[in-house]
A = this chain, B = another copy of it.
């Protein structure tokens, strides 16, 4: 059933997601801080509006995917934010990766207007957004989850209900902690082996013959071996997510020593100007420290 959807945030992920919603027959009012990015959506039939409030005004569903906690707070509660116009009974789906604490605060504000809130961060990168093959990790009321499902099935293949408000984000941050550390230590191991004299292809064959075989390293190894760091997921965003995970660990009293160490490595790589490259460029930082290249 076609819905009237306000869509906020047309970045690397938001743009293909919004296009897929239009293709599925929904009516979209789109807003982006940088207006120019809305052109493709307008061409596809979206109505371009000039504030989050305008996007939300006539919408049954508001969907957003913006850069960080501050941006979400601005979109929701800032001047021209959705709180100014949100309909009672509306559903707000936030796919931004932000602090679970901030997300819960937004859920409260939205509830004050008689609307529902879901945290619904995604994995799958730009590629998954384009193909409608994202995985959604979702937190909020079960009824809101059920209502969101038909819409989100256009955008992804997996929609995992994680529990109450914020738990979609908690799961996402745990997932990214594992993913970012796995890639970093994969690179540590490859730099060690390469500097000793083992060929990278040989080392990869060993990893792929072992329990350490991971989908991530199968996927990233060829890019690493070629030195191709075109961003699927920019290093600076991975670093941001690791900072959120560390803050979540602090808030929940969970010591995370591997995360703590690895976060500083991504930080250092970002400080060396690698923030806009794919996060697999972490290998180049380790290579520079060790004076060796993992290339085939």
Contact A213 B214 (CB under 8 A): yes
Q: Is A174 an interface residue (CB 8 A)?
A: yes
**Complex Cα spacing A76 to B1, Å:** 48
Contact A192 B249 (CB under 8 A): yes
Integer count of this chain's copies in the complex = 4
Stretch at the interface among A51-59, A109-117, A178-186: A178-186
> From DSSP, what is the main secondary structure of chain A's interface residues?
helix
Residue on B nearest A137 in the bound complex, by CB: B206
Residues 276-295 of A, flagged 1 when their CB comes within 8 A of B and 0 if not, give: 00000000001001111000
Contact A178 B195 (CB under 8 A): no
Which of B173, B191, B211, B243 makes the CB contact (< 8 A) with A254? B191
Contact A174 B203 (CB under 8 A): yes
Using A182-B182, A250-B267, A268-B289 as known contacts, say yes or no to A198 and B167 having CB atoms under 8 A apart: yes
Residue on B nearest A211 in the bound complex, by CB: B216
Contact A271 B253 (CB under 8 A): yes
Contact B160 A206 (CB under 8 A): yes
Residue on B nearest A158 in the bound complex, by CB: B209
Contact A243 B250 (CB under 8 A): yes
Q: Is A210 an interface residue (CB 8 A)?
A: yes
Contact A212 B215 (CB under 8 A): yes
Contacts of A289 in B (CB 8 A): 254-255, 268, 271-272
Query: Which residues 112-168 in A have Cβ within 8 Å of B in the complex?
Result: 123, 135, 137, 158, 160-164, 166-167
**Complex Cα spacing A199 to B162, Å:** 7
**Complex Cα spacing A290 to B216, Å:** 28
Which of B189, B198, B268 makes the CB contact (< 8 A) with A255? B268
Of all A-B residue pairs in the complex, the 7 with the closest CB atoms, nearest first, are A170-B196, A261-B261, A214-B214, A174-B189, A211-B216, A174-B193, A181-B185
